[in-house]
Amino acid sequence: MASQAPVFQVRHHFENAEQQKDASTVGMWLFLVTEIMFFGGLFLAYFVYRQWYPEAFASASGKTNLLIGAFNTTVLICSSLTMALAVHYAQLGKKNLIVLFLILTLLLGGAFLGVKAYEYHDKWVHHEVPGANFECEGCVDPGHTSLFFALYFGMTGLHATHMIVGAVILLYLIWQAKKGAYTAKWFTPVEMFGLYWHFVDIVWIFLFPLLYLIDRTKTGFGI
């Protein structure tokens, strides 16, 4: 092995490793609370406008592809599993498995983003992006459907941005894991990132029914 694995040292202002790890965990959870409130604002806007324009929202939601949405949700849940496994093997200090599962998480996350990009392109082509050329073909209460799409793009866009940031961090973690930085004694970045990744998954768990499943009684699973 050409490069030496970095040696873990407790930071000088902490009394011991346990305090340091505990502090990081509390800090990460507090950050996730801010993320709850950040996405929460968008969920609020969704809540208000869906209350006011139920038919517009139901009709506009039908323009999303249910099969693709369910598939993407599956992909993301798989990436959550691989992330949990990466943390698991970090706890056990199994370097190669850590790297493997981090790479799998990255690939699955990338797949999700790829599918999302396809969906966005599809919407663009069908003039379903709010703006000057917006048109919701065959929609009920068309005057209010652009709000649905504004929220669709706002919420999934913000979610996708969080995934892209996550992907970049994953690249860093994979690089560090390959160098042997993460051992059973210290693997805090992997665990903290795991919390972040799972949180992004939870956001999607709510976005899926809210954006894709408003009313599928007429369209069923059809494209």
Partner 1 sequence: MTTATAAPPQTERKTYLNSAHGVKSWLLTSDHKRIAVLYMISVLVFFILGGLFAVLIRLELATPAGDLVESNTYNKFFTMHGVLMVFFVLIPAVPATLGNFMIPMMVGAKDLAFPKINLLSWYIYVVAGLFVLTSLMMGGVDTGWTFYTPFSTSYSNGYVIVTGLGIFISGFSSILTGLNFIVTIHRMRAPGLTWFRLPLFVWANYATSLVQILGTPVVAVTLFLVVLERGLHIGFFDPAYGGDPVLFQHMFWFYSHPAVYIMILPPMGAVTEIVSTFSSKKPFGYTFIAFSSVAIAVFGFIVWGHHLFVASQSIYAGMVFSILSYIVGIPSAIKVFNWTGTMYKASVRLETPMLYALGFIGLFTVGGLTGLFLASTGMNVHLTDTYFVVAHFHYVMVGGAIMGTTGGMFYWWPKMFGRMYNQAWSKAGAILIFFGFNFTFFPQFILGYMGMPRRYHAYPPEWALLNSLSSAGATVLGLGYAIAIGCLLVSLLKPVTETADNPWGATTLEWKTQSPPTTENFEVTPVVTEEAYTYSSEEVVHVG
Partner 2 sequence: MKKHDILTDTHPGEGPAEHHAEHIVPLPVYFAVFAALIVLTWVTAFVATIDLGRLNVFVALSIAIFKASLVLLFFMHVKYGTRLTKMIVAAGLYWLILLLFIVMQDIWTRNWMGVPGR
Q: Which does 188 bind (CB under 5 to 8 A by kind): partner 1, partner 2, none?
A: none
**Does 74 engage in binding with partner 1 (CB under 8 A)?**
no
Q: Which does 135 bind (CB under 5 to 8 A by kind): partner 1, partner 2, none?
A: none
**Does 52 engage in binding with partner 1 (CB under 8 A)?**
yes
**Does 15 engage in binding with partner 1 (CB under 8 A)?**
yes
Which helix (H) or strand (E) covers residue 148, if one does? helix 145-178
Smaller CB separation from partner 1, 16 or 217: 16
Q: Which does 147 bind (CB under 5 to 8 A by kind): partner 2, partner 1, none?
A: partner 1
Q: Shortest gap between Cβ of 58 and partner 2 (angstroms)?
A: 10
The answer to whether 145 and 60 have CB atoms below 8 angstroms apart is yes
Other C-beta atoms within 10 Å of 56: how many? 22
Q: Which does 113 bind (CB under 5 to 8 A by kind): partner 2, partner 1, none?
A: none
- Ramachandran area for residue 131 (φ above 0: left; ψ -120 to 50: alpha; else beta): left
Q: What angle do CA 195, 87, 209 make, to 5 degrees?
A: 45
Which helix (H) or strand (E) covers residue 125, if one does? helix 95-125
Q: Which of 112, 12, 19, 110 has its CA nearest to residue 69?
A: 112
Q: Shortest gap between Cβ of 139 and partner 2 (angstroms)?
A: 18
Provide the β-strand partners of residue 186: 183
**Does 34 engage in binding with partner 1 (CB under 8 A)?**
yes
Smaller CB separation from partner 1, 55 or 122: 55
For the range 127-130, what are the long-range contacts, defined as Cβ-Cβ under 8 Å and sequence gap of 24 or more?
128/63, 129/153
Q: Shortest gap between Cβ of 41 and partner 1 (angstroms)?
A: 4
Question: How distant, in Å, are the alpha carbons of 21, 44, 108, 174, 197 from that of 194?
Answer: 14, 27, 14, 13, 5
Q: Which does 56 bind (CB under 5 to 8 A by kind): partner 1, partner 2, none?
A: partner 1
Residues that bind partner 1 (CB under 8 A): 12-15, 19, 22-23, 26-27, 30-31, 33-42, 44-45, 48-49, 52-53, 56, 130-132, 143-144, 146-147, 150-151, 153-154
